[in-house]
Homo-oligomer: A and B are copies of this chain.
Amino acid sequence: MMPALAVSRRTRSTPFTSRVEAMGVKAYTVYNHMLLPTAFKGVEEDYWHLCEHVQVWDVSCERQVEITGPDAEKLIQLMTPRDLSSARAGQCFYLPICDEKGMLINDPIAIKHSDSHWWLSIADSDVKLLAKGIAIGMQLDVEVCEPEVWPLAVQGPKAEELMTRIFGEHVRDIRFFNYRNLDYRGTKMLVARSGWSKQGGFEIYVNDSEMGGILWDELFSKGEDLQVAPGCPNLIERIESGLLSFGNDMDYGDTPLECGLNKYVSLTADINSLSIDALRNSTPRHQLVGLVCQGQQSFTAMGVYMQELCVGEITSYAWSPRYGVTLAMARCSNVALETDVSLTVNSDAGVQTVVLSRLPFNFNDLGLIAHEANQSKPVSGKPV
């Protein structure tokens, strides 16, 4: 059973909280000192709906760290090992943010407004304080702040249809990880084709709380025939899709090279990044991998074992109703990755053998067959 959450001013509400509660939010987490819904009808029911229809998500907790001024791009480049020299306004970039040792501090989506104006749409750590500290220490000519922006995500296969009903046909022209500033009742809102699912969709960077409420209501009234529903980042969907969660699957104890984020680290580029030298000289000590476990498991401890030896740690897991297995992400030491000995984990059904996988999972290679919603037959993990 879930514990209760004591809400206060410190666990900030959003312009959409009253609507989210009226629509039956079941649970929250706290993310960037702000409420983030985690379930409406239930994680599994929400999952099937997300994969088939369209959902509106209150992801206001994706706070923006706004960096403006002549040194804005310089500061962003200092914080990330990804080469930004060819970045253009209108684009979004997934960026590892790393310290001088190459350790991860966050993994935002960066939004380039112009050379002198960037947003970092952050995961759960106070990147603003790192940016402020570096700017103060280096006397950079920038302003760092957290503007009043509350992203709304519209996700799912019918997201594009719903978005065109609100913002017009040119929504269809926005390419993946690109954005446009679109008019909504006289207010310009940044709309990006992005979002924390693989079901397709958009993020609307709402910059006016009252207009945000009107927009929310219109998304629901215009999407009724599309079966629009409130939703939130879905644990099952994001694990099936191999989307990593900072603080869960990776944290200050990992380099991006230990999390499969190699393509976002420009090891050979000539860039002025705090972390690049450390990353060039680093040797990964572990890797983030996928684990597949038969049946619907509830793990009783997070260790991953090779015989008696603990060789890893489960960082997230969920029952996949589509594939009929429990999928986990785990941080495993190199020894676990190079062995022929089978790996095991502990669930309330006893010791379970797991199959190691790359991330994202390749279900074909794993020999797993997809079920549709009405075929889903959870297999008990308990010995019969």
Interface residues of A (CB under 8 A from B): 2-11, 21, 25-30, 33, 38-39, 99-100, 105, 124-127, 129-139, 146, 245-248, 252, 274, 302, 315-316
Q: What separation, in Å, do the CA atoms of A30 and B126 have in the docked complex? A: 15
Q: Which of B124, B136, B146, B274 contacts A134 (CB 8 A)?
A: B136
Q: Which of B6, B7, B302 contacts A39 (CB 8 A)?
A: B6
> What are 5 A-B contacts with C-beta separation under 8 Å?
A5-B29, A8-B245, A9-B247, A10-B29, A33-B247
* Distance of A273 from chain B, by nearest CB (Å): 12
Known: A8-B245, A127-B129. 15 other contacts (CB 8 A): A3-B21, A5-B27, A8-B316, A9-B248, A9-B302, A10-B248, A100-B136, A126-B126, A129-B133, A132-B133, A133-B134, A133-B137, A137-B139, A138-B138, A146-B252
* Distance of A192 from chain B, by nearest CB (Å): 24
Each complex incorporates copies of this chain amounting to 2
- Interface contact A28-B3, CB-CB below 8 Å: yes
Q: Which of B4, B25, B27 contacts A27 (CB 8 A)?
A: B4
Q: Which of B3, B99, B316 contacts A4 (CB 8 A)?
A: B3
Q: What separation, in Å, do the CA atoms of A372 and B306 have in the docked complex? A: 60
Q: What separation, in Å, do the CA atoms of A28 and B5 have in the docked complex? A: 5
**Smallest CB-CB A-B distances: 10 pairs:** A137-B137, A133-B133, A10-B247, A5-B5, A30-B30, A126-B126, A6-B38, A4-B27, A2-B4, A129-B130
* Distance of A196 from chain B, by nearest CB (Å): 14
Q: What separation, in Å, do the CA atoms of A283 and B10 have in the docked complex? A: 25
Q: What separation, in Å, do the CA atoms of A125 and B9 have in the docked complex? A: 14
Which residues from B are CB-within-8-Å of A3? 4-5, 7, 21, 25-28
